[in-house]
């Protein structure tokens, strides 16, 4: 190949390479220009549009410690006892509050006769279900009666049956590790119980 032809071939090859590079560059640019936008979800927060997406739910499990398991078992026992006894406490509260209003205007023999008649009604309504309660459920029930009436069980027994009877039943309660005089403190010692009572009220439509 003569030198002029060699130079012409070289120039032609270079020109071809330049054209190919230009076409490739244009093609690459066109591809970037077409695919430079990715559609994502967004939310508007305080006037700004921010990309957002919903992540998959991730469940995290852990093993309870011994103390945590013990606390959960204690809470479950209390919750079950309240679900069982609160309907009785609610009903007893209605009856006792009605009796208190009625007794204000009664004295002497009329008072005793009224208490005796209502006592029969209460025994007929509550004897069977209450005898099936455990000692623990009985203690919870006394707390709940206090909540519904504002009076502890010792005061109620003393009011209706006399001080001697109240002291007798207080002694019996002592042997079962209970106390007829136990108060109800919804913001203190009984705060957890109060939360469960409100749960029961929401569940069954009771007025708390």
CA–CA distance, 54 with 46 (Å, rounded to integer): 20
Rounded CA-CA distance 176/135 in Å is 7
What range does the domain containing 77 cover? 67-204
Whether residue 56 is contained in a domain is answered as: no
Is residue 163, in this structure, part of any structural domain at all?
Answer: yes
Let me know if residue 57 belongs to a domain: no
Asked, for residue 182, whether it belongs to a domain, the answer is: yes
Domain assignment of residue 58, yes or no: no
Structure tokens at 93: 């509260």
3-state secondary structure of 25: helix
Whole-number Å distance between alpha carbons of 207 and 165: 33
Asked if residue 39 is part of any domain, the answer here is no
CA–CA gap between residue 149 and residue 153 (Å, rounded): 10
Question: For residue 77, is it within any domain?
Answer: yes
CA of residue 62 relative to chain centroid, distance: 20
Two structure tokens written together for 147: 């909540």
Hey, what are 15's tokens? 């020109």
What is the distance between the alpha carbons of residues 183 and 146, in angstroms, rounded to a whole number?
7
Instruction: Look at the chain and report how many structural domains it folds into.
Output: 1
Q: What is the pLDDT along the chain (208 residues), one digit of tens a residue?
A: 445 555 555 556 555 554 545 444 444 444 445 556 777 788 888 888 888 888 888 888 888 888 989 999 999 999 999 999 999 889 888 888 888 888 888 888 888 888 888 877 777 877 777 788 888 998 898 889 889 888 777 777 777 777 766 675 566 566 556 677 888 899 999 999 999 999 999 988 887 6
pLDDT of residue 74: 95
Q: What is the largest CA-CA distance in the chain?
A: 146
Tokens of 169: 């039943």
Cα–Cα distance, 176 to 170 (Å, whole number): 10
**pTM of full prediction above 0.95:** no
């Amino acid at each position: 190949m003569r030198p002029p032809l060699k130079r012409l071939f070289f120039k032609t090859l270079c020109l071809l390479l330049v054209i190919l590079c230009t076409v490739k560059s244009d093609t690459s640019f066109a591809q970037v220009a077409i695919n430079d936008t990715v559609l994502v979800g967004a939310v508007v927060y305080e006037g700004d549009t921010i990309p957002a997406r919903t992540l998959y739910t991730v469940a995290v499990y852990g093993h309870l410690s011994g103390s945590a398991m013990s606390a959960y078992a204690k809470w479950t026992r209390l919750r079950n006892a309240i679900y069982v006894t609160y309907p009785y406490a609610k009903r007893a509260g209605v009856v006792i509050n009605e009796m208190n209003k009625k007794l204000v205007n009664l004295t002497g023999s009329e008072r005793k006769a009224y208490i005796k008649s209502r006592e029969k009604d209460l025994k007929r309504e509550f004897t069977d279900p209450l005898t099936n309660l455990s000692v623990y459920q009985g203690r919870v029930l006394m707390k709940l009666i206090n909540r519904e009436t504002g009076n502890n069980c010792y005061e109620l027994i003393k009011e209706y049956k006399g001080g001697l009877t109240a002291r007798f039943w207080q002694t019996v309660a002592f042997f079962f590790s209970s106390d007829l005089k136990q108060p109800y403190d919804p913001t203190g010692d009984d705060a957890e119980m109060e939360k469960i009572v409100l749960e029961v009220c929401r569940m069954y439509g009771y007025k708390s």
